[in-house]
Amino acid sequence: MTAVAIATFDSEGAWLRARTRAIAAGHRVVGEWLPYASKAIGSGEGRGGILPWALTGGAIGGFGLFALECWTAIVSYPFNSGGRALLSWPAFIPAPVEFAALTAGIGGIVAMFVQARLTRLTHPAFDWEEVAEASRSSFVLALGCTAGDDANAAVALLANAGATHSRVIGL
């Protein structure tokens, strides 16, 4: 790949149109940037779930704390507290429940960081000012091209599809 044709669109519709045409014309989409979570990108469930992470986190936190409660109250230093049973399990439930929620959240956010490839403060994409547009208002589409004429064709296609702006970036 020698060049990239990149274009910005001011609406979800225009971007989708261009996308389908480009793919039909055999172009390869090398990058997309959106100003909001369009329904078009689908939920992508199943592909690397976040839920399992959250559940694991929650389980560790919840059961961990409950186990700690039982151990301290029964094994480590048992007390007669108002004649209650040493294993007052109903009273042991609230704290772990709350804590489980927290650890689940933590598990989830870790998963998200991993899957969203975050913590990449520097990234080649940031060299293209179009990408900066995306986070504020525009839909950005980048097509990978092999040769110069190919690139020009791609740019033309994007322009026709209603791009507010499009250009070729040589690599």
Q: Does 22 bind other proteins (CB under 8 A)?
A: no
Shortest reach from residue 147's CB to other proteins, in Å: 26
SS3 45: coil
- Pairing state of beta strands 165-170 and 28-33? unpaired
Residues 116-155 that bind other proteins (CB under 8 A): 116-123, 125-129, 131-138
- Phi, then psi, of 27 in degrees rounded to 5: -80, 155
Residues 103-122 that bind other proteins (CB under 8 A): 104-106, 108-109, 111-113, 115-122
Cα angle, residue 108 at apex, residues 98 and 52 outer, rounded to 5°? 95
Among residues 16, 18, 27, 50, which is the contact residue for other proteins, using CB under 8 A? 50
Among residues 24, 83, 149, 170, which is the contact residue for other proteins, using CB under 8 A? 83
For the four alpha carbons of 142, 147, 149 and 153, in that order, the dihedral sign comes to negative
Among residues 21, 30, 32, 60, which is the contact residue for other proteins, using CB under 8 A? 32
Shortest reach from residue 132's CB to other proteins, in Å: 4
Considering the complex, state which of residue 141 and residue 158 has its C-beta at the smaller distance from other proteins.
141
Shortest reach from residue 149's CB to other proteins, in Å: 28
Cα angle, residue 16 at apex, residues 14 and 19 outer, rounded to 5°? 110
Token reading at 158: 């994007």
